[in-house]
Amino acid sequence: MYNETDRTRKVGEQIQRELSDIIRRDMKDPRATWITIQAVKVSKDFSHARVYVCTLKDDHADAIVHMLTKASGFLRYELGKRMKSRTIPQLHFVYDESVENGNRLASLIDQAVKSDQVKREQD
């Protein structure tokens, strides 16, 4: 359903830019300041868009997705005013764990390097 063509990719990129701006400027919820739109994947028929979000406050990931889902009508309305498209897709928000996983992997690598340095110093 979300196979990318050149057109769906471009529409997804535009939605990503516009949503980022709308969330940053127009949303009143203070939690919105911690949100980053990582990617947007649009379906072939442009009826649905999966919006991958992350937040600097990982413990609030579920609350952020819930807040955005509740605000999806407002976000679609604002997108409609900004985009030159006949239809604005339904927005489906998904928490993107890739940043969190990357940080966890970096931490594990740092621990392994420190452990190796300690072993070398002991030998």
Q: Is residue 108 part of a domain?
A: no
Q: Is residue 114 part of a domain?
A: no
Task: Note the pLDDT of residue 85.
Answer: 84
Residues in Cβ contact with 72 at an 8 Å cutoff, skipping those fewer than 6 apart: 90, 91, 93
Q: Is residue 30 part of a domain?
A: yes
**Is the Cα dihedral 77, 83, 85, 90 positive or negative?**
negative
Task: Note the pLDDT of residue 30.
Answer: 83
Task: Note the pLDDT of residue 76.
Answer: 95
Task: Note the pLDDT of residue 101.
Answer: 63
- pLDDT confidence tier of residue 10, bands split at 50, 70 and 90: very high
Q: Is residue 91 part of a domain?
A: yes
Host domain of residue 36: 6-97
Number of domains in the chain: 1
* Cα distance between residue 17 and residue 122, in whole Å: 52
Q: Is residue 53 part of a domain?
A: yes
Residues in Cβ contact with 82 at an 8 Å cutoff, skipping those fewer than 6 apart: 18, 22
Query: Residue 8: how many CA atoms within 13 Å on its side-chain side?
Result: 17
Q: What are 37's strand-pairing partners? A: 53
Task: Note the pLDDT of residue 100.
Answer: 64
Task: Note the pLDDT of residue 14.
Answer: 95
When the pLDDT of each residue in the chain is averaged and rounded to a whole number, the result is 86
Q: Stretch 49-56: mean pLDDT, rounded?
A: 91
Residue from 55, 53, 26, 56 nearest 41 by CA: 53
Q: What is the pLDDT of residues 54-99, one digit of tens each?
A: 887 666 788 889 999 999 999 999 999 999 888 899 999 999 876 6
Q: Is residue 42 part of a domain?
A: yes
State if pTM tops 0.85.
no
Lowest-confidence segment of 1-15, 82-96, 104-118 by average pLDDT = 104-118
